[in-house]
Amino acid sequence: MSDRINLDLPRYDQSTYWGRAKHFFTVTNPLNVLASESELDRAKDIYLRYKNGENIPGVSEDELWRAKNLYDSAFHPDTGEKMLLIGRMSAQVPMNMTITGCMMTFYKSTPAVFFWQWVNQSFNAIVNYTNRSGSTPITLEESGVSYALATSGAVLTALGLNSMAKKAPPLVGRLVPFAAVAAANCINIPLMRRRELKQGISLTDKDGGRIGQSAIAAQKAIAQVTFSRIGMAVPSMVLTPVLMNALEKRGFLRRFPWANAPIQTLFCGLCLTFATPMCCALFSQRAAIAVDQLEPELQEEINKMKNPPKVVYYNKGL
């Protein structure tokens, strides 16, 4: 390869939706979970050697990107440590399809509602911890408070709506798990990132130079992430109840009661395979905000700079 590839940037154009979608299809590819330890170590070796300026004979451009994708899927971007398997982005689809399928199947019993909502929030806590920032890590206190409140919010929402839905059509009851997950996301994400809401999120210029911290940008970032997370759940947790309600009306589930959980789990997996990367791509990872939308004191500080920018950038998170 005559021209060196910048592995610090995604392979696909991030200014377009489909470029971002292609990037997240590689990041969330569940097949990466199957990579062996030796494959991951080889990918790390190729990626780091090339990034440090070495030319690696016999490695094509596609193989280089494959190594980067495997490295990104398994190693923490800040610390370089190998991440816990179930906390990796590539494990999102298989883990979420199993948990979601069970939440959708066992939504009537109070103990089952409590157990599966607890499992879901425990999994979310593991993902948040595994993907924590190396520069501004989430403390155990922040994780604990967020976990407890999100779990409580999800369980109370599910049990409350289940009680209200007893006299409603069956489809309404099947939609209760989605309402509980949406409520938990609205609690969990702002709590996990409340330090950013207080202290602000880091802003940079177009070249990556640090400019300051903005709580307004943090609010926008957290709102976008919350919307994306809820959007990921919509296809599996809204379309699955519609499908199962139709099968129930046709008597299919009475004839084949054993098929209830497998159908819901597999259909959730199909939905999540596409919904996860496509909802991650809704908003640019490197988001932009106009300077005149920031805090007045920050605007004043930026406008005192030589050639002050009109637009600044921040990492919105996932």
pLDDT tens for residues 249-265? Answer: 888 988 998 888 899 99
For residues 74-102, give the mean pLDDT.
86
Give the number of C-alpha atoms closer than 13 A to the C-alpha of residue 256, restricted to the C-beta side: 9
Mean pLDDT, the chain, integer? 85
The angle formed by the CA atoms of residues 107, 268 and 83, to the nearest 5 degrees, is 100
How sure is the predictor about 1, in pLDDT bands with cuts at 50, 70 and 90? Answer: very low
How sure is the predictor about 196, in pLDDT bands with cuts at 50, 70 and 90? Answer: confident
For residues 177-198, give the mean pLDDT.
83
Phi, psi angle pair for 3, to nearest 5°: -100, 130
Three-class SS of residue 290? strand
The domains of the chain are located at 17-73, 200-215+227-317
- Residue 270 pLDDT greater than 70, yes or no: yes
251: phi > 0 → left, psi -120 to 50 → alpha, else beta; which?
left
For residues 207-228, give the mean pLDDT.
88
pLDDT of residue 125: 79
How sure is the predictor about 51, in pLDDT bands with cuts at 50, 70 and 90? Answer: confident
Q: Over the range 196-233, which residues count as b (16 or more CB within 10 Å of their CB) and which as e? A: beeebbbbbbeeeeebbbbbebbebbbebbbebbbbbb
For residues 280-307, give the mean pLDDT.
87
Q: Are 172 and 199 in contact (CB under 8 A)?
A: no
pLDDT of residue 129: 75
- Residue 28 pLDDT greater than 90, yes or no: no
How sure is the predictor about 306, in pLDDT bands with cuts at 50, 70 and 90? Answer: confident
pLDDT, tens digit, 9 for 90 and up, residues 109-165? 889 888 988 898 888 878 877 776 555 566 777 778 778 887 888 888 888 888 887
Q: Which helix (H) or strand (E) holds 43?
A: helix 37-51
For residues 274-283, give the mean pLDDT.
92
pLDDT of residue 133: 58
